[in-house]
A = this chain, B = another copy of it.
């Protein structure tokens, strides 16, 4: 698509070249309704097209990728992303940030991750046979450094290849804990509410993009 010479970018203008390129690509993407995972030109191609260094194109693409417009795959190419970045990932990051910011958010520490055979107790709810390999995660939840919860979870190993390692790598929260937290701890933290502009319209649009607003409100509560 857009095989045209592509008018050159403005050098020396106030706007960084990579921004101009990012914007142009974005515009072109939105214009030419390339559904699904349409593929973008290669970095080299774009570089020559815009007459810039490949790094400059990469910077632009990095921006688009960060905003969830495209997805980059090594060795394959860059593709239009209509599904956006995901939430959990960001969620985790925001959690880390939280942790860093204050020291008193409830945290979750994974003590141990092991792969064991499912026993009778576990096998039932997981709908697997006894003896099936399951990943067992043992963790504690902390609030202000004080242990609040202790939990053990099991996941079917087969269904989640690599889960064990992944769990070891991260320190994630226990939802249950967080949920409780949401009810009680909230008092002295900041809240964020996500409000869909209108749960209805979100449906009609074919565009994969709906943009509800996230309202953040700080709530100071006197102790007690």
Interface residues of A (CB under 8 A from B): 29-30, 33, 66-69, 80-103, 105-106, 108, 110-111, 122, 125-127, 137, 139-141, 146-156, 159-160, 163, 166-167, 170, 172-184, 186, 189-196, 199, 202, 208-219
Contact = CB atoms under 8 A, between A and B. Distances in A.
A100 B126 CA distance: 23
9 contacts: A68-B97, A68-B215, A86-B98, A86-B191, A88-B173, A122-B150, A126-B149, A149-B154, A170-B179
B29 A100 contact: yes
A155 B205 CA distance: 42
Given A149-B153, A153-B176, A208-B190, A87 B83 contact: no
Contact of A215 (B177, B180, B209): B209
Contact of A193 (B85, B189, B199): B85
